[in-house]
A and B are shown apart, each in its own frame.
Chain A
Amino acid sequence: MFKNNLIIGTLVLILFTGAQTRGWNLFETGPGPKPLSGNSRTYHK
């Protein structure tokens, strides 16, 4: 488990650094079509 943690942790760091360098962001759209933002109703009391 210790080795797995080290390997997976290192991969996470590489992915994180790559994402920050290339400007990847899961929560932000890039160029290209995007579905309508917000397609479900939220009810407020």
Chain B
Amino acid sequence: MKTTQCPSCGAPVTIRAADSLYVICEFCRSTLLRDENHLTNIGKMAELMDDPSLIKIGTQGKFKQQHFGVIGRIQMHYAAGVWNEWYILFDDGKGAWLSEASGEIVISFPADYKGSIPPFESLKPEAQIKLGNAVLMVTSLQTALCIAGEGELPFKVQSGYEANSADLREIAGQKRFATIDYSETPPLVFAGTSVAFKDLKLTELKNGSVPVAVKTEAFNCPKCAAPLNLHSTQIECIVCPSCRNFIGVENNNIKLLNKAITGKKITPTFPLGSQGTLEGIAWEIIGFMQRTTNPSDKNYAWFEYLLFNQTEGFAWLTEYQGHWNFARTLSAPPNVPKSLPAFEYLSRKYTLFASDNAIVTYVLGEFYWQVSKGETVLVEDYISPPFMLSREVSSKEVSWSQAEYIEPEVLYAAFDIKKLPSPRNLVFSNQPNPYKPTLGGIISTSLMLVAIATLIQLYFLFFEPTVMVQTKKISLSQSASQHILPEFTLKYKTRMLRVRHQTSLHNNWAEITSTLINKDTGEYQQGSLSIAYYYGIDDGESWSEGSSRDMMSFRNVPAGNYYLIIDAEAGATGTASGRVSDTVTVTGNPTTWSNYILALIGLAIIPLFSLFRSIAFETRRWNESDFSPNGQLQSDDDEDE
């Protein structure tokens, strides 16, 4: 570090970097060309815009474990707003750029790239460029204007200096970033990485520390004199909440941009200025807009709230028919072609849900670009509930944001909104399926219960097997008859003794009464059966009724010696013998499968009900989509139905 005198005003000028070519005197704003140890005044630099950035010359930080200090800055202006490019110097003498734009911080190093670079005019958003081995996607094309500079810089910088630049990003999951600066021939390439403000562990910040409260600059609307606030120099446009005129903001100067929005006034659910904490970050609502895919139908409109935090930049809340999302711009967006049915991003599968033009129809408050009514971008939504990735494509820029569904009650509490959330009538695109989390548990529990039921059934099948007690063929006649079957012994208590009758009834009936008598105790159990079997032909069509066989059971029969008495009577047989045969089969502990089947049905009711509810929820979700779950575009006929 060296200190010398400004040749213009005599004030001390500190030079920290060995390779700084230009130094801007912080007292008289002279741009000083450095030659050996001499400084030559080559002109005055414009005043810097008053800046809410927490970074200043002298701020210290760490990037990839390497310490750096901020030694210079240029302020750039482009169509969407203003950003700072801070020149930083690492301890090993290497210089880099730290850029702040829309709340995103990127650290870029000059890349020694000698290959061919396509001309600026040939580039389009989402075009792919190969630089060396890396394939990068064009995300932004801008013509930027240098407003002012300060401190030490590695090149000559002048106010009003204009340069074309292209921002490029690498494939999903990586935060690598590149900028092609077309201000020189051949163009300069900078390779960078997107970093979070907190990861830089910055010290020596402006005001000494990270301020919590947002400092605002107050002024009056040039049309209606209503008091307005300006939260950041990145704000390019304010729509006066009183008169709804569009007011442009440039270099702290304000001017009327467009006439007021006519039509019905919309009152935001969350008023401008509302403050709340989401994901541990304090946000303030500074802007509100309505967008739609169909301006003639209010059912297609949704609301977007612009949130601001001094260190985190900007974020969004979206509101559609009682559904809310919290969204932030992605620093490492996916690299996928337009309208791809599905893709994987950070280990989640995202499926295309909607693709349409979004048109701005109503605006209030502050925005970091010059928003206007009628502004249109192509929006594609990919869902992986509770997340949603949205691609917005304009002629100059492609941006991706990731939204996460927020339960309205949580959001209302976070912003201390006292009124009740609006009812949610439909299933939103990325609304979490409330039945899905428990479905897996319910199905696995039911499978476990089915396994237990099967084990129980197997136990009865193998450890209490069916025992054949006796089979006897008897004859039933038209007059009542009694048949005493041979005596048999049950060694153990029998839970079920089944008596099966297989008769030769044809267009006939039989009344059968079975009496099971314990020979030792004289106790008995009795049961009756009516068997009837008829068949014939009516009007040329054959029919049958009943069955020639049936069975009955005696339950919980104690061990002992038994005999079975069959009292039977049959109807007129019409045969010469007048007799009907009946084969009586007695079995002990027959394994019944009907109870097992009933148990399985009982165990399946709740899982099937839960599955049905979950599928119905997903069906309602996809009914709102232009695409079926497999990514095929639905026909217009389907949409009309």
Residue positions of A touching B, CB distance < 8 A = 1-2, 4-6, 8-10, 12-13, 15-17, 19-45
Q: Are A13 and B495 in contact (CB under 8 A)?
A: no
Closest to A32 in B: B527
Q: Does B610 contact A (CB under 8 A)?
A: yes
Spot the interface stretch: B63-71, B125-133, B348-356, B546-554: B546-554
Q: Tell me how many residues of B have a C-beta within 8 Å of chain A.
A: 52
Q: Does B578 contact A (CB under 8 A)?
A: no
CB pairs A–B below 8 angstroms (26 shown): A1-B606, A2-B438, A5-B445, A5-B606, A12-B599, A15-B599, A17-B456, A19-B595, A20-B456, A22-B495, A23-B555, A25-B592, A28-B498, A29-B529, A29-B550, A29-B552, A30-B527, A30-B553, A32-B528, A37-B530, A38-B545, A38-B546, A39-B546, A40-B545, A43-B541, A44-B543
Q: Are B526 and A31 in contact (CB under 8 A)?
A: yes
Q: Are B529 and A27 in contact (CB under 8 A)?
A: no
Which residues of chain A are within 8 angstroms of B595 by Cβ–Cβ distance? 16, 19-20, 24-26
CB-based A-B contact count at 8 angstroms: 141
Q: Are A43 and B528 in contact (CB under 8 A)?
A: no
Given contacts A4-B606, A9-B446, A30-B553, contact A36 B546 (CB under 8 A): yes
The 5 A-B residue pairs with the shortest CB-CB distance, nearest first, are A38-B546, A23-B496, A31-B527, A16-B599, A12-B602
Q: A9-B449, A38-B545 are in contact. List 15 more A-B contacts (CB 8 A).
A: A12-B449, A12-B453, A12-B599, A13-B453, A16-B599, A23-B553, A27-B594, A28-B552, A29-B552, A31-B526, A31-B527, A36-B532, A36-B546, A43-B543, A44-B543
Q: Report the Cα distance A31→B512, complex, angstroms.
A: 12
Which residues of chain A are within 8 angstroms of B453 by Cβ–Cβ distance? 12-13, 16
Q: Are A42 and B544 in contact (CB under 8 A)?
A: yes
Interface centre among A1, A9, A22, A25 (most CB of B within 10 A): A9
Q: Are A9 and B545 in contact (CB under 8 A)?
A: no
Q: Are B460 and A20 in contact (CB under 8 A)?
A: yes
Given contacts A31-B526, A32-B527, A34-B552, contact A21 B541 (CB under 8 A): no
Q: Does B489 contact A (CB under 8 A)?
A: no
Q: Report the Cα distance A23→B190, complex, angstroms.
A: 83
